[in-house]
Amino acid sequence: MDSITTKNCTIHFNNICYSSLNEHIKKKNFSKIFILVDENTHQYCLPYFLEKLETTIAIEIIEIESGEINKTIDTCVGVWNTLSELNADRKSLLINIGGGVITDLGGFVACTFKRGIAYVNVPTTLLSMVDASVGGKTGVDLGHLKNQIGVISNPDLVLIDTRFLSTLPQNQMRSGLAEMLKHGLISDENYWNKFQDLSKLSLDDLDELIYESVIIKKNVVEEDPFENGLRKTLNYGHTLGHAIESYFLSNPNKTTLLHGEAIIVGMILASYISTELVGFPKQIAHHIKTLFVDYYGKVTINKSEYAPIIELLKYDKKNNHGNINFVLLENIGKPRIDCLVDDNVIIDAFEFYAS
Ligand code: NAD
Ligand code: ZN
């Protein structure tokens, strides 16, 4: 696995992570190093990371509480205050070690503190390795609205050390895997074909697959940095997936669904809709459903819940000039963006999922 460079930012994998970081620190002459973690990455990832870090520069650890609920401007204020109290200056470096919550929030803190200090991201969940690591999106939530405040900015380096996945809970692994499956469906049949036996995937197989997934996302983002076209394909499964995720989150009777678990349902629904509207082969839609349900199980969505979930799509609609735009598939690796879908077809898709 080589390093991947995009937009002045290099993504390093496994063995070369730490030599590259140590070299970078030497070259840049930072005044102080701050490391942002949550309680889990403090326990599971920081000790190994510190062993590998070779520097005489002073290091301060800043810990915030884990969870999306803490991805807020209030948490940023706490981190900005701590940086200030610990005399961080414009030559300081912030290293964010954690999942997407830490890298999104830490990236935002770094590029706003004193109008911007250098930062390095060390994604430690599968989702943050294959998704949040590329594209420069940083930010926080505003109340219930996700990622409403933020800026686009790239870290100096991204370090993907897949060893950190060994402590990641299984449900978080499966959630991240959903984004890799999405990368296969929207862009590359060969890559997709490597996921045909999900239960047999080992951490060793994942190394190469993670690397390829990062390349797929990088290529999409580079071709369409302003999200006018191709980048929208990364939303495959996300239109209905987000609505299902929000519905489950706001409904105390439902089990909690992680982002990737909701996206899996969204991708099955979108593959059915694709057969109806853009000629996606029916047998592939059936195959996707079987493959995903065998591995992820089936989420119970009652008939009476179809309407409130479809209602939630209207939030996306408001943000999109009145249109609910789906990404559909003409075939594996052949996505079509900006597709309008009638409510009746969505209901048929729910029936297909339930059957
Ligand atoms: P997360 O950051 O909440 O991490 C999930 C859980 O895993 C947390 O409890 C965390 O403490 C724990 N954890 C992290 N690494 C661990 C490890 N190695 N061992 C044990 N536990 C570990 O969630 P996530 O799924 O990584 O990220 C979700 C966030 O990412 C969302 O806020 C989303 O908006 C954002 N995101 C951003 C982008 C982007 O382009 N910037 C893309 C996708 C998602
Ligand atoms: Zn996603």
| Digit-coded pLDDT (tens) for 261-288 | 999 999 999 999 999 999 999 999 999 9
Q: What is the pLDDT of residues 56-86, one digit of tens each?
A: 999 999 999 999 999 999 999 999 999 999 9
Predicted pLDDT of residue 226 = 82
Q: How far apart are CA 232 and CA 164, in angstroms?
A: 30
Predicted pLDDT of residue 317 = 58
Predicted pLDDT of residue 203 = 86
Task: Using the mean position of ligand 2's atoms as its centre, give its distance from the Cα of residue 25 in Å.
Answer: 32
Q: How far apart are CA 128 and CA 351, in angstroms?
A: 32
Q: How far apart are CA 28 and CA 311, in angstroms?
A: 51
Q: Give mean pLDDT, residues 95-118.
A: 98
For the chain, the average pLDDT equals 95
Q: Give mean pLDDT, residues 112-126.
A: 98
List Cβ neighbours of 251 (8 Å cut-off, separation of 6 or more): none
Q: What is 47-76 written as a DSSP string?
A: HHHHHH----S-EEEEEE--SGGG-SHHHH
**Ligand 1, CB cutoff 6 Å, lining residues:** 38, 40-41, 44-45, 66-68, 71, 98-102, 104, 124-125, 127-128, 131-132, 135, 137, 146-147, 164, 167-168, 172
Task: Assign domain 171-354 to its CATH superfamily.
Answer: Dehydroquinate synthase-like - alpha domain (1.20.1090.10)
Predicted pLDDT of residue 316 = 64
List Cβ neighbours of 260 (8 Å cut-off, separation of 6 or more): 127, 174, 175, 176, 177, 178, 179
- Residue 251 clears pLDDT 70, i.e. is over it: yes
- The domain ranges of the chain are 4-168, 171-354
Q: pLDDT: is 2 or 188 the higher one?
A: 188
Q: Give mean pLDDT, residues 318-329.
A: 76
Q: Which CATH architecture has domain 4-168?
A: 3-Layer(aba) Sandwich (3.40)
Predicted pLDDT of residue 145 = 87
Q: pLDDT: is 192 or 227 the higher one?
A: 192
